[in-house]
Amino acid sequence: MPVSTLTDGRKAWQLRDRKAQLTRWFAYFAAVAVFMWCWKKISDSTTWFFVWDAPRIASDIGSRAFPPRWSYMEKLWEPLWDTLNMATLGTLLALVFAVPIAFLAARNTTPSAVFVRPVALLIIVSSRSINSLIWALLLVAIIGPGVLAGLLAIALRSIGFCAKLLYEAIEEIDHKQVEAVTATGANPLQVMAYGIVPQIMPAFAGVAVFRWDINIRESTVLGLVGAGGIGVQMQASLNTLAWPQVALILLVILLAVIVSEWVSAKVRGAII
Amino acid sequence: MSAAALDARIGKPWKKPAFIRNPYLRWGLYISAAIYILLAVSSIEVNWARVSEGLVRGWNFLAAFAEPDFLSRGKDIREGMIESVIMTVASTVVGILISVPIGLGAARNIAPLPVYLICRGIVALSRALNEIIVAILMVAIFGFGPLAGFITLSFATIGFLSKLLAEDIEDMDRVQAEAIKATGSGWLQWINYGVQPQVMPRLIGLSMYRLDINFRESAVLGLVGAGGIGATLNTAFDRYEYDTAAAILIIIIVTVMALEYLSGIIRARVQ
């Protein structure tokens, strides 16, 4: 047990021995050094004059933004409907693709662990590592601005997320049930439908609703790059410095996020 | 024996029970879902001429992945990546430092009610605001550059880490914490020896996960002027330099994969 000697010669307990303590201090030192270097880099590329001026700017923007321009609301209903559609249809489309990919990626259902599984995992990783805003940027460049680009961006981003969570759920299923269904003479498709699907159904529903909730948040900002939804209005208002409209849009987005979180919590509570 | 007679003797064959028992509710849900999807799909306006024209461009973009161009904009890519990494590291560190006290405050079994409500309020606020929206406001207030991105990511980290940390603290083993209290420890000693060892593995795991998320987010913050590789990517798209854009996307994917792999190893080791 690590002990240290006090000044009067008594031994006292301490948490770590000297070697562990020194290693720890060295690690802290290195971490602080790295952080300070990063901070220096950020500081170098910052115009500090603007930062010192920030409180004034913030209060200026705040005073311009208040009160929100309520009459602008009538122009927001349609973008709001588009936003909802992008999130919902995008999630549905993603699930259509995510389910087969998840079955191909799960170790216990994949047809070939050497050839098919790595491809499925690569699809999952590529879809997950690119943010939906980048997908939207790409799709807007390819198929032009509009709701369709946003919908596809949401779908492409969600495939990886849903497939990853689903294939982890598939890998964790109880094998006895699968064996029991196999023992009745079921063919592979029947085994899947009666042995595996009922076990992952709660996870599937949970993932779908969870992702829908995230997608509502993400689809509110896709309009910034031209992919439809309420973000288009926000970008337009920001460009014309119409802060009262921006304030209203932010409030609407906040409300939409809260409602979607409430809905998803209710649905998940009802299913699981 | 005919099939009908067999049915009469052994009863109806087994049928898989429906997902929702109540038939009215079930069909009501199906029909309203169908109506919604019809309405939603019909409200999407698609300019098919533009799409078919764009498919050529889409193909060019996919072809660009076969021969990404890392070199001709090499300097911009390198600077953008370094800025992204710096923002990620700095904001994760600051985010963790701030979210630990807020996480302690948001745990009901440690904090008194007023502190709990304030900390939960901060967490809710941080989680409700999308990173991009925060970044837009920060750019408007602090000006262009990585500082705005750094503040945005730190703010987003607080909501994520504090919430999960608080939930972990609420789930902790009370006996262990009580044993420390029984030795006559002060509050800080109690937290340090009774609570911290229980939540540390999860905190490290979550921090690594958040580092991963912050890097991914830092790649898009540049789109609204908050520094990082996103600005370079946006420029590449605007100039239709698909080979450079492909190179940047490949770098992002590889970095995220590496980070995910690394965080997997670290999480496996601490848990």
Residues A137, B237 contacting (CB under 8 angstroms): yes
CA A85 to chain B, closest CA, distance in angstroms equals 6
For chain B, say whether A144 makes contact (Cβ under 8 Å): yes
Residue A111 CB neighbours (<10 A): 10
Give the model's pLDDT for residue A29: 94
Based on the fold, state whether residues B34 and B152 are members of the same structural domain: no
Give the model's pLDDT for residue B228: 84
pLDDT band at B217 (very low <50, low <70, confident <90, very high): confident
Based on the fold, state whether residues B146 and B18 are members of the same structural domain: no
Report yes or no on B28 lying in a domain.
yes
Q: What is the CATH number of the domain that holds A115?
A: 1.10.3720.10
Identify the residue among A15, A24, A34, A42 best suited for mutation to test binding to B, counting B beta carbons within 10 A and taking the highest.
Answer: A42
Considering only CB atoms, B132 lies closest to which of A41, A89, A133, namely: A133
CA A9 to chain B, closest CA, distance in angstroms equals 24
- Among residues A44, A63, A119, the alpha carbon closest in space to that of A247 is found at A63
pLDDT band at B1 (very low <50, low <70, confident <90, very high): low
Based on the fold, state whether residues B7 and B116 are members of the same structural domain: no
Count of structural domains within chain B: 2
Domain of residue B145: give its range: 76-270
Based on the fold, state whether residues B160 and B223 are members of the same structural domain: yes
Residue in chain B closest to A247 (alpha carbons) equals B137
Residue B36 to residues A64, A175, A244, B18, B43: CA-CA distances in angstroms? 39, 38, 33, 22, 11
Considering only CB atoms, A38 lies closest to which of B57, B89, B240, namely: B89
Span A226-250, pLDDT tens digits: 888 888 888 888 888 888 888 888 8
Give the model's pLDDT for residue B161: 92
Identify the burial level of A246 via C-beta atoms within 10 angstroms of its C-beta, where 0-12 means exposed, 13-18 middle and 19 or more buried. Answer: buried
Are the beta carbons of A50 and B87 separated by less than 8 Å?
no
Tokens 């049930």 -> residue: A177
Kindly state the average pLDDT of the residues B73-83: 87
Report yes or no on A63 lying in a domain.
no
Domain of residue A167: give its range: 73-271
Considering only CB atoms, B132 lies closest to which of A81, A194, A224, namely: A224
Name the percent of chain A lying above pLDDT 70: 99
Kindly state the average pLDDT of the residues A88-101: 93
pTM of the shown model? 0.82
Based on the fold, state whether residues B227 and B105 are members of the same structural domain: yes
List Cβ<8 Å contacts ≥24 apart for B49-53: B50/A143, B50/A144, B51/A143, B51/A144, B51/A148
Q: Tokens standing for A53?
A: 């001026």
Residues B199, B168 contacting (CB under 8 angstroms): yes
Based on the fold, state whether residues B36 and B94 are members of the same structural domain: no
Cβ contacts of A260 on chain B, cutoff 8 Å? none
Report yes or no on A83 lying in a domain.
yes
Residue B271 to residues B30, B175, B200, B257, B265: CA-CA distances in angstroms? 44, 20, 9, 21, 10
Based on the fold, state whether residues B119 and B252 are members of the same structural domain: yes
Report yes or no on B71 lying in a domain.
no
Report yes or no on A52 lying in a domain.
no
- Whether A6 has a pLDDT exceeding 80, the answer reads no
**Most distant CA atoms of chain A, gap in Å:** 81
Span B135-192, pLDDT tens digits: 988 888 888 888 999 999 999 999 999 999 998 898 888 888 889 889 988 888 899 8
Are the beta carbons of A54 and B141 separated by less than 8 Å?
yes
Are the beta carbons of B45 and A147 separated by less than 8 Å?
yes
Which residues face A181 on adjacent strands?
A: none
Characterize B205-230 residue by residue with b for buried, 16 or more Cβ atoms within 10 angstroms of its Cβ, and e for exposed: bbbbbbbbbbbbbbbbbbbbbbbbbb
Count of structural domains within chain A: 2
Report yes or no on A60 lying in a domain.
no
Which residues face A13 on adjacent strands?
A: A3
Span A166-190, pLDDT tens digits: 998 998 888 898 999 999 988 888 8
> What is the secondary structure of B14-39 as a DSSP string?
P-PPPSSS-HHHHHHHHHHHHHHHHH
For chain B, say whether A251 makes contact (Cβ under 8 Å): no
